[in-house]
Chain A
């Protein structure tokens, strides 16, 4: 493989503690190296920023609900298609781009690892087919466990060994990466026309509470020592006053210590916290509770969060939280799709316009940024938009700009139609913190990589790690206009993915060597779970067990993380 040397760049790397020093980065055989031979191709990065490839911890980019979004929103594709080029295929779409555009746009921003945040196990094959069609970026997918009948029954009977055996079987069968929990119990209760709006609402028929589900899966996750912790979207998303439920959820992890061999320090990841940090008791007195939420997060080192920043765009909401999507369509009267995924989960899709002229949308925008600015440990708070729910991922550079520039935030706050009301309901106007480049590298690279248990593989520039390296044409000390931040992080000068130059001068030049990450967690064979699985398939599932498994040929270039128990 070819060798590269990136010369004289201003390097930010939390993994090795490099804070903006001028350094050379060497790439050899797809890995970061100490030195290279004189034949290495040299790239001049003088006056430019060099970081590791960014790691996306939570994004909806592949699978049936994404595809249904593409199907039922032809207007999202209008005027957005670009013809194929020398190294690219035709690509288009805005909030729900095609698989190709997903790969190209992530790569252009310097992202090299992206996690699909919700995989319904029954449709895991579809998820992997789309992952296979998404070029350049490494991907993994989180199967959803929070409304699964097996999990309910085993947890109800306190059969922890069976829970672990089932988790291991399902991760292997769906080629999944981590335990995702979406509206635990609530999506199942939706089958009865109900919901679980607090973590102590029992699920109909199963008579188990969301708190028991999350606590049980958390315990199983740590007993098994999986690379990632449980990945939670808790109950009562998007409702005024829900921050209390969020804090109740956080407390489930109190005192639990991590157990794994992957360098992960958290036992609980809560995703898109912006949607869970609302005060007030109606849309009229809706307000930010970002401070209360972040005070708790800052004080508890065994948890991580991602932000879920609203970008004020027209987008498409999609989640395995079926009841929430129904609630949303009754609010905005736009088109709606919902699906019940047999024994496993439900899901829904509704288009949504985050309009800056609407008070609630502007407050949501402020809450997302407040969460990022209140964080005391950037290694535990990651930047996301919960793509496409709070905004499309192509807006990340814009969020970086808002987080890094007080000026751009204050300008936005002043431009809102209900500016005074927004300022009164939030704390953003009084916050002058500006995220530094080093903190950005923590929030988008080292942090998420560590939380995913990939700290020795990606998100850093230590010798021996995968050579995911990005060069941005910007110098932290010479920024005159905040718009430069958005421009520079939107189109990287160079992006290397595992040592292959994939983006050069903002153009995709190679489709790289994409991998699919999945976790093979070994547990002792458990004949009861084997029998239960067979019985459930005979009795309830609409498919045969043999048509359920994601067999090897579905998985492009697999990278298996083995976990010994």
Chain B
């Protein structure tokens, strides 16, 4: 396999749309031709070489091409869009639409990504070692066909609306998931190893969601059915199986009604049943160690905005604080 190394020269002023950074487009091209590919910023068109240096060599076909992206591409969108084969490796963070409409190959992001990664994906493997924001593996706006195949792995936390309209493939989340997981799902598998916040599987007609850290609050339209032993990652675990969404239509197969299923690991179930928890109990706190780390980080950040600090807390500690809490925390640390 041949490798092309792209190194970002500078952080673009606005956001760069670079849908041509895929093995399919790079394959069979010289470095000069790769540099001449178009990228968009605002309503202007530029050359890829205006923002990246191109080194190495592209393979003859996509399957023999690997792209390594170094430098700060946290403001570059559409990396690996529609790729069908080959490999892409992003060494840092990336912006929205990483691996969108991806059909094959392997895409690895060492850092975190913004929203819409892997939307309407049909195949291949998308691995994000950091966190990911909203609409991961979901459908394009208005469409009813979300992720249909392949695998997305997010090692950190994910935002809201992940896997909405999913009807195939697997999303594996190492951390926590925000609200509206797998809305309107019609198939597929989602594994949340941390805590799923709530409104899980709304309007789901088919599919499986495994919540290893439990669900903060179950939808009232889900009904506990039975406990089942299932093998996950080569380890046998007991799950409570919930059927739903009972407010939706459900098809039949061999005389049996097909439901969407939420599997909740036993042991965490006591804290995750559908009871309504008072607001005050849901307050989040940082540990002393985390508070100290935040205090030293604040000194470096030089008068950060509340949103910046909130993002820092979410990215580093996986805690989603309310802006008012963050602002109180900042003033207490300053004192």
A-to-B contact residues, CB < 8 Å? 72-76, 78, 333-335
Q: List 12 A-B contacts (CB under 8 A).
A: A72-B142, A73-B142, A74-B141, A75-B139, A75-B141, A75-B142, A75-B143, A76-B142, A78-B140, A78-B143, A333-B249, A335-B144
- Measured between alpha carbons, how far is A73 from B143 in the docked complex, in Å? 7
Q: Is the interface of B mostly helix, strand, loop or mixed?
A: loop
| A250-B144 Cα distance, complex, nearest whole Å | 39
Distance in angstroms from B150 CB to nearest chain A CB is 19
| Complex: chain B residue closest to A335, CB-CB | B144
How many chain B residues touch A (CB < 8 A): the figure is: 7
The chain A residue with its CB closest to the CB of B43 is: A83
| Whole-angstrom CA separation of A75 from B139 in the bound complex | 9
User: How far does the alpha carbon of A75 sit from the alpha carbon of B120 in the complex, in Å?
Assistant: 11
Q: Are A74 and B144 in contact (CB under 8 A)?
A: no
**Quick one: closest A residue to B140, CB to CB?**
A75
Which residues of B134-167 have CB atoms within 8 Å of chain A's CB atoms? 139-144
Report the minimal beta-carbon distance from B285 to chain A, rounded to whole angstroms: 41
What CA separation (Å) do A189 and B144 show in the bound complex? 31
Chain B residues, Cβ within 8 Å of A78: 140, 143
Give every chain B residue within 8 A of A334 (Cβ-Cβ): 144
Helix, strand, loop or mixed for chain A's interface? Answer: loop
CA distance A181 to B178 in the complex (A): 51
Max chain A Cβ within 10 angstroms of own Cβ: one of B140, B142, B144: B142
Q: How far is the CA of A75 from the CA of B146 in the complex (A)?
A: 12
Least distance between B178 CB and chain A CB atoms (Å): 23
Rank and list the top 8 A-B pairs by shortest CB-CB distance, nearest first: A75-B143, A74-B142, A75-B142, A74-B141, A75-B140, A73-B142, A78-B140, A334-B144
Using CB atoms, name the residue of chain B closest to A74: B142
Complex CA distance for A333 and B140, rounded to whole angstroms: 18
In the bound assembly, the distance between CA atoms of A335 and B140 in angstroms comes to: 14
Query: CA–CA, A75 to B142, complex, Å?
Result: 6
Chain B residues whose C-beta falls within 8 Å of the C-beta of A73 in the assembled complex = 142
State the Cβ distance, B187 to closest chain A Cβ, in Å. 14
Question: Which of chain A's residues have a CB closer than 8 A to the CB of B249?
Answer: 333
CB nearest to A75 among chain B residues: B143
Q: Which residues of B contact A72 (CB under 8 A)?
A: 142
CB distance from B278 to the nearest CB of A (A): 37
Complex Cα–Cα for A271 and B325 (A)? 64
**Chain B nearest Cβ from A275, distance in angstroms:** 24
Bound-state CA distance A78–B144 (Å) is 14
Nearest CB in chain B: distance from A409 CB, A: 30
Interface string of B112-149 (1 = CB under 8 A from A): 00000000000000000000000000011111100000
A207–B88 CA distance with the chains assembled, in angstroms: 69
Known pairs A75-B142, A78-B143, A333-B249; list 15 more (Cβ under 8 Å).
A72-B142, A73-B142, A74-B140, A74-B141, A74-B142, A74-B143, A75-B139, A75-B140, A75-B141, A75-B143, A76-B142, A78-B140, A334-B144, A335-B142, A335-B144
Residue of B nearest to A334 (CB): B144
Instruction: Determine the residue in chain B with the shortest Cβ distance to A72.
Output: B142
Q: Bound complex: CA of A76 vs CA of B141, how far in Å?
A: 10
Bound form: Cα–Cα A510–B140 in Å: 35
**Residues on A with beta carbons closer than 8 Å to the beta carbon of B141:** 74-75
Cβ contacts under 8 Å, A335 to chain B: 142, 144
Point out the residues of chain A lying under 8 angstroms from B144, CB to CB: 334-335
Shortest CB–CB separation between residue A123 and chain B, in angstroms?
23
**How long is the Cα–Cα vector from A74 to B141 in the complex, in angstroms?**
6
Q: Complex formed: what's the CA distance from A76 to B143 in Å? A: 9
Cα A334 to Cα B144 with chains together (Å): 8
Interface residues of B in 216-263 (CB under 8 A from A): 249
Output the nearest chain B residue to A333 by Cβ-Cβ distance: B249
Name the distance in Å between A394's Cβ and chain B's nearest Cβ. Answer: 21
Instruction: Give the docked Cα–Cα distance between A334 and B145 (Å).
Output: 11
Cβ–Cβ < 8 Å partners of B142 in chain A: 72-76, 335
**Closest residue to B145 on the A side, CB-wise?**
A75
Measured between C-beta atoms, what is the minimum distance from B255 to chain A in Å? 19
Q: What residues of chain A lie closer than 8 Å to B139, measured between beta carbons?
A: 75
Closest residue of A by beta carbon distance from B205: A333
Min CB–CB distance A328 → chain B (angstroms): 15
